[in-house]
Amino acid sequence: MSDIKVNVQNSDGSLTTLEAPTDMGLSLMEFLKGNEYDILATCGGMALCATCHVSVVNGFDALHPISDDEYAMLDTLPNITDTSRLACQLKLNPGMEGIIVKILGDH
């Protein structure tokens, strides 16, 4: 099976668990948009706008290292956290099973 569970922490602190395919090459941003989360993704996934900014509440250590371009974009944000990432830069993969993210982008 190539599906993983992705958990989204809602503004009230509750979690929504979604089944995410890992065999379609989707980014976390594309997956969240496809599930009707309010993510602008203005730049279309090029790490240029930060409207898909998420905080990784659980599972941060399982993610690939942050790129210089992604860090440079995140570094411009007033609400950056120690576990901030751009959802467009995170390709869904089996190592992300059970990840918990909180959407912080401009929406």
Q: Give the pLDDT mean for 25-36.
A: 97
CA distance 58 to 99: 6
Burial of 37 (0-12, 13-18, 19+ CB in 10 A): buried
pLDDT digits (tens, 9 = 90+) for 83-102: 999 999 999 999 999 999 99
Residue 105's pLDDT band, with cuts at 50, 70 and 90, is confident
What is the CATH T-level fold of the domain 3-103, as seen in this structure?
Answer: Ubiquitin-like (UB roll) (3.10.20)
Whether 28 shows a pLDDT value over 80: the answer reads yes
pTM of the complete model: 0.94
pLDDT digits (tens, 9 = 90+) for 34-73: 999 999 999 999 999 999 999 999 999 999 999 999 999 9
